[in-house]
Amino acid sequence: MTPQTAAVLRVLQHERAGHRDDPVFPTSRGRRLSRDAIAWLLAKHVATGAAGCPSMRAKTITPHTLRHTCAMRLLHAGNDITVIALWLGHESTQTTQIYVHADLALKEKALARTAPTNTPPGRYRPPDKLLAFLEAL
């Protein structure tokens, strides 16, 4: 959590005269929001946003989409996969590996770092000595 986010949450908690263990976004009865309630609220706000941004109508935006986006942004920012696993609450980094496999940009960066220097483009043509050696085997 960024220091700015923590400051905003402290002010929110103070304004509500809440306790440290109180949910940040409570239900009308002061309890934690259920997964269904979060999905419903997100869908409601996505619909509101789509009114001003029609391209949102063609997108599927769910709590899992936001979670995945967060993980991918952390990955692109250079965070280690174990840190992302901890952030997402995964028990194992194996679960988090899907983000690495899904990210083509990271794969391209990895390939770019391993490209040999001064390699001329085109098909490899072995020297005659190498061909003669191989044929003599």
Confidence of residue 43 (pLDDT cuts 50, 70, 90): very high
Domain ranges of the chain: 10-58, 62-112
Give 105-125 pLDDT, tens digit per residue: 777 777 777 766 677 777 778
State pTM to two decimals. 0.59
Give 14-36 pLDDT, tens digit per residue: 888 877 788 888 888 888 999 99
C-alpha–C-alpha distance, residues 28 and 7, integer Å? 24
b/e per residue, 31-61, with b = 16+ CB within 10 A?
eeeeeeeeeeeeeeebeeeeeeeeeeeeeeb
* Side-chain-side CA neighbours of residue 103 (13 Å): 22
Q: What is the full DSSP assignment across 113-124?
A: HHPPTTPPSS--
Q: Is the dihedral of CA 8, 14, 19, 23 positive or negative?
A: negative
- In 3D space, the residue among 90, 91, 53, 45 whose CA is nearest the CA of residue 70 turns out to be 90
29 DSSP 8-state letter: T
